[in-house]
Copies of this chain bind each other. A is one copy, B any other.
C-alpha cells in the first residue's frame, strides 16, 4: 500500500497547496483481477495510480496476438499515456492481473493545474523524462540482449513477480513465446 503523495515527492518537491489541489482530483477505485482500466479504441481521459496490485499494459496486432508492453506494480501511474499526451486514439489495453487499489483522476483537470503550480509541471516533466529513459533502456535490451539475458534481468529487477502472475505474461513481456521461455528455463535449470 503506497502513498501517491510520497511517490510524487520522491520525484520532485511540491508545495502543500499544489498537493491539496492534486489530491482533490483523485478518487479511489477498486479493480478486480481481470478487470480492465483502459481498452483500445477511444481517446484516453483518465490517469490512474496503483497503490497495490499488478497491471499489465498490452498491445494487440491485427491477428489478435498480444504483446505485454509493461508490467506495472505499485507505486506507478497507469493509463493510456501516449494517448493522453497526443490526444490520439488509445491503442493500449490495461488489465488487472491481481486485485488492485487505484486512485483515479481526470487527466485534463490534472494538467490544468500546471499553470497554477509550476512545481507540479516540474514533476510531470521529470516523470516524462524518466519514462523516456526507461523506454530507451528497454528498447536497447530488446534488441541487444538474448531472450535468456532478458529473462535473467527481469528476475533481478522484479524479484518474485514471476511467481505472482502466469509465466506466459512474462514471456510476452520479454518478447518471446511461452514455449520459448519454457525452453530457456529448462536450459537455466541445468
> Interface residues, chain A, CB within 8 Å of chain B?
59, 61, 65, 67, 69, 81-82, 85-86, 91, 114, 118, 121-122, 124-125, 128-133, 135-140, 142-145, 175
Contact = CB atoms under 8 A, between A and B. Distances in A.
B86 A136 contact: no
Contact of A121 (B118, B135, B142, B143): B118
A103 B143 CA distance: 31
A124 B118 CA distance: 13
Nearest to A62: B144
Given A67-B143, A143-B175, 16 more contacts: A61-B144, A61-B145, A67-B140, A67-B144, A81-B136, A82-B136, A82-B137, A85-B130, A85-B133, A125-B125, A125-B128, A128-B132, A131-B132, A135-B139, A138-B139, A139-B142
A114 B135 CA distance: 24
Protomer copies: 2
A127 to B, nearest CB: 8
Nearest to A133: B82
A57 B129 CA distance: 18
Contacts of A61: 144-145
Contacts of A139: 69, 135, 138-139, 142
Interface centre among A59, A129, A130, A145 (most CB of B within 10 A): A129
Contacts of A131: 128, 132
Contact of A132 (B114, B118, B132, B137): B132
Contacts of A125: 114, 121, 124-125, 128
Interface centre among A69, A81, A82, A122 (most CB of B within 10 A): A82
Contacts of A65: 144
13 contacts: A61-B144, A65-B144, A69-B136, A81-B133, A85-B129, A85-B133, A86-B130, A124-B125, A125-B125, A128-B129, A128-B131, A128-B132, A132-B135
